[in-house]
Structure 1
């Protein structure tokens, strides 16, 4: 990432620098490199040293500038991971029943109770309880709410309406607020650049840090593994900080790679590239067919709004159909909590989809003709393309849903680990500052420039197209990398100009 070399970095007066500058793993920052020692560095002119020096510079600069985005993503993600517990704390009156007693009322009666209490909306969907202690959710489309809905919570044992909330994609206001905070900081579409920047660079910083740290050890295997996984508590100063920074990074690296990959799949620009890939390899999530055979200009096999095919007409009042539709779906094998969506029009069928996103997931869907009481189309989870399955499972794990509490705790540990190594990285930067009386500075110098000059030609010829391809696949990464390079070139030119001016001034004296 540089164009001209600089002198070696200054070191602190209190700390020896007899180890190379590799600065840990999967983190947001790094520190300026130390001069390599004879024991654990390659020969000065080796191509390996050139690669390591380039990675150290990339790890440092990317970490320094992307760290604020990573801190925000870690903090907001940590809060979002525990959204289910916050929901229970804030909305327990709406989400749970007072007493599990007797048999639930017919689903049609529960929907009728909700609509009687809230006549302002039309029926959008109904979600049956996942547990006996939960309420039934009757989701209403209300024009003044725009893309959001009004969800009415009904006690299935008493038919009592427990309350209503403004929801988005079936999420409560607290979960929606935390989700938007993590996704875009409540800044709308422009705010999504922050999270995509963090996800785009996280895997790069993590990979560079891993290579730098793991390539240090030249001792026997057992000692090498211990040095990689455990901090050196006997070290002091910057070496101790680096040890904690790197060892912690090794432990959380896998989680950081996972969060980066899954976050990119639903980002703005990289996500669009991923969707194009899914289309090309025919791995999109199957869309349930709800078009009835007699729909104008339509035949079975077309994809409707919800899914299905069958009779020519549905009942005028969808509430009267919901009981038979649910029974038909149960006979088709849809167990557990389900989401029932009424037909979009008289030429469409009901959609019934399993709503169990905890492993092992149950996500089958069927389209039901209410008049004939038969299934007209079905999407089975077992038939999903592999990439579609991995995408859906990855997103659920990213949200902390897939493995329940264990999933939440793993996400929390990863976020806390990211925050810790980020702070340690900044601390290293401060510890490496020059402290001599004749040369003081608030921060340490970055790794030396010109590392790319040490790379062999084949590496450059293969690396440049690879970097360009990655930059095209991850547009935010590509644009910001070009920004880093432009800034680096500008700094180099400015420093060269100042040096030449000083030399000219000195020669005229």
Structure 2
């Protein structure tokens, strides 16, 4: 008689193989999924958390008087905290402080808050860039594993691909096929069966969110993201070819020059100012120019880093259609490039929109709550999987599901594995490694049996 699951209907070798692969995928992915879900859930509320931490610096009482000029606010900030001006964020609302960004002689970056009505310097923090605070900067680094450099980036890419494999294999295992599985609600109230149902039910409701979050996080990855970027650019549906060709460009990519840039622009070179000499235009002129151009409130201005650099105003509001990047010549104040959401190719727009949803921005609080629930569900599913494994594993063993005796799987399964490996290159490599280990174990088992 064929083996059965939980004493039910006998299962096939295919089911056993899928169950084994699902176990391996979970073993590799679930610890990272918990980390990503927890840090992602926190980062969804980046602005709210930052306001709670630094509300005394970032908020001011609106006054009837006019706000002071940007140059005046920057001057007062630098007088209190000497350094070189690196950026300026005008108040995003009447109750918000201006933010002046500077770097000291020791190289430390400082974000200085200034009351736009009185010019009073309210205080400073370490400049955490787009994250807005040291806490959110740390959470973001943990979320992407940037703490361990390029290797961490590859690990996260593998996790994203393997999480999709988890969804595929998990859905297959959940599918009823006449057996006592496939439930949409909990049927047990205790024991290992409760944890099994909790894992399965949570997983089936969360499956779509896992796939969406995995795919929309991949554009930042080193291997998949680069290939996706190159293909979209080559097809003319990412960043329009020759967009910067009207003016000379540098060798510095936009991602290195700005705190944040649209994903589709990250590899594009920064434009250059017309001449590396002369007197740069003032901050007041730059602010006036971009606001007359209709840039959305909440924008930031990056100051040129050298004699050939440019001023850059950029904004990434909740409504991704208002996303915009404007480059200005630092000597003439001329607008060199003005890129909005509508200027991107179809794939570029799709990528920017999906990234905005991924970060909980596009649909406001509803977006945040839905993804928060998805993150909680991912943690619950991961924990239930760990508990279920712990309860069922033999004492002193890992408890890997047994190998099926018949390894002649349908060609469809092989095709799916090949396609998955081709779509996720790093997953393909790890699949080959796992398959080699499986073959080694199978050969060893047969050799011992002989």
> TM-score of the superposition, structure 1-length normalised?
0.74
CA separation in 2, counterparts of 1:441 and 1:374? 71
Residue of structure 2 equivalent to 1:264: 218
The answer to whether the aligner puts 1:63 opposite 2:26 as a matched pair is: yes
Give the secondary-structure state (helix, strand or coil) at the position aligned to 1:257. helix
CA separation in 2, counterparts of 1:114 and 1:101? 22
CA separation in 1, counterparts of 2:183 and 2:63? 53
Pick closer, same or farther for the CA change 1:132–1:291 going to 2, 3 Å. farther
* CA drift at 1:200: 1.9
Pick closer, same or farther for the CA change 1:82–1:308 going to 2, 3 Å. same
Any conservation in 1 of the 2:311–2:328 contact (CA below 8 Å)? yes
* CA drift at 1:345: 5.5
Within-5 A mapping of 1:312-327: 316-318=279-281, 321-327=282-288
Any conservation in 2 of the 1:69–1:194 contact (CA below 8 Å)? no
Pick closer, same or farther for the CA change 1:276–1:473 going to 2, 3 Å. farther
**1:356-379 deviation line (CA, Å, top 9, x unaligned):** 421254112333457766544321
Residue of structure 1 equivalent to 2:232: 278
**1:335-389 deviation line (CA, Å, top 9, x unaligned):** 3222223445566653333x14212541123334577665443212112112212
Give the secondary-structure state (helix, strand or coil) at the position aligned to 1:379. strand
Counterpart pick for 1:113 among 47, 71, 76: 76
**1:250-297 deviation line (CA, Å, top 9, x unaligned):** 2111111111112222122222222222332234446974986899xx
Counterpart pick for 1:389 among 349, 354, 362: 349
CA separation in 2, counterparts of 1:418 and 1:141? 40
Residue of structure 2 equivalent to 1:487: 437
* CA drift at 1:119: 2.5
Give the secondary-structure state (helix, strand or coil) at the position aligned to 1:18. coil
* CA drift at 1:160: 1.6
Structure 1 unaligned segments of length 5 or more: list them: 1-6, 20-34, 37-48, 296-302, 435-439, 501-509
Counterpart pick for 1:459 among 412, 420, 444: 412
Query: Highest CA radius of gyration, 1 or 2?
Result: 1
Give the secondary-structure state (helix, strand or coil) at the position aligned to 1:229. coil
Residue of structure 1 equivalent to 2:45: 82
Structure 2 unaligned segments of length 5 or more: list them: 251-266
Any conservation in 2 of the 1:288–1:304 contact (CA below 8 Å)? no
Counterpart pick for 1:183 among 126, 137, 144: 144
- Larger displacement relative to structure 2 (355-364 or 257-266): 355-364
CA separation in 2, counterparts of 1:198 and 1:77? 14
Pick closer, same or farther for the CA change 1:372–1:186 going to 2, 3 Å. closer
Residue of structure 1 equivalent to 2:175: 214
CA separation in 2, counterparts of 1:382 and 1:445? 51
CA separation in 2, counterparts of 1:400 and 1:368? 31
> TM-score of the superposition, structure 2-length normalised?
0.82
CA separation in 2, counterparts of 1:338 and 1:379? 14
Residue of structure 1 equivalent to 2:135: 174
CA separation in 1, counterparts of 2:106 and 2:406? 59
Residue of structure 2 equivalent to 1:507: none
Within-5 A mapping of 1:420-499: 420-433=380-393, 444=399, 446-450=401-405, 452-455=407-410, 458-459=411-412, 463-464=414-415, 467-468=417-418, 470-499=420-449
Any conservation in 1 of the 2:19–2:173 contact (CA below 8 Å)? yes
CA separation in 1, counterparts of 2:76 and 2:360? 33
Pick closer, same or farther for the CA change 1:141–1:450 going to 2, 3 Å. farther
The answer to whether the aligner puts 1:241 opposite 2:204 as a matched pair is: no
Pick closer, same or farther for the CA change 1:246–1:113 going to 2, 3 Å. same
Residue of structure 1 equivalent to 2:263: none
Residue of structure 2 equivalent to 1:95: 58
Residue of structure 2 equivalent to 1:378: 338
Residue of structure 2 equivalent to 1:18: 8
CA separation in 2, counterparts of 1:403 and 1:389? 16
